[in-house]
């Protein structure tokens, strides 16, 4: 679906950005939108991002084993 920019000031900003980056106007819009999406995602607190990830990929159930130095030494054959 085409995107029409009807605001001359915005169209000029896109043209300037495209010229600076040496890309087409379409690529300039894509770069700018992707950068803003990345900034928005980074603005979400890490705790909230991990919570959303845990909903999708929950931790496995507890084995009840204590993961201390002795446990890791046993795993490595010491």
Does position 19 have pLDDT exceeding 90, yes or no?
yes
Of residues 42 and 32, more confidently modeled: 32
Work out the mean pLDDT of the chain and round it to a whole number.
91
User: How many angstroms separate the Cα of 63 from the Cα of each of 3, 18, 68, 70?
Assistant: 54, 55, 14, 16
- What is the pLDDT averaged over residues 31-44? 93
Residue among 36, 37, 19 at smallest CA distance from 28: 19
77 dihedral zone (left: phi>0; alpha: psi -120 to 50; beta)? left
Does position 70 have pLDDT exceeding 80, yes or no?
yes
Give me the helices (H) in the chain, please.
Answer: 8-21, 25-43, 46-56, 69-75
Percent of the chain with pLDDT over 70: 100
pLDDT tens readout for residues 40-51? 988 989 999 899
């Amino acid at each position: 679906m085409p995107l029409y920019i009807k605001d001359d000031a915005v169209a000029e900003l896109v043209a300037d950005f495209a010229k600076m980056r040496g890309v087409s106007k379409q690529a300039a819009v894509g770069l700018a939108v992707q950068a803003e999406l990345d900034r928005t995602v980074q603005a979400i607190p890490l705790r909230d991002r991990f919570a959303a990830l845990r909903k999708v990929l929950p931790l496995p159930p507890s084995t009840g084993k204590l993961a201390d130095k002795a446990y890791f030494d046993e795993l490595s054959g010491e």
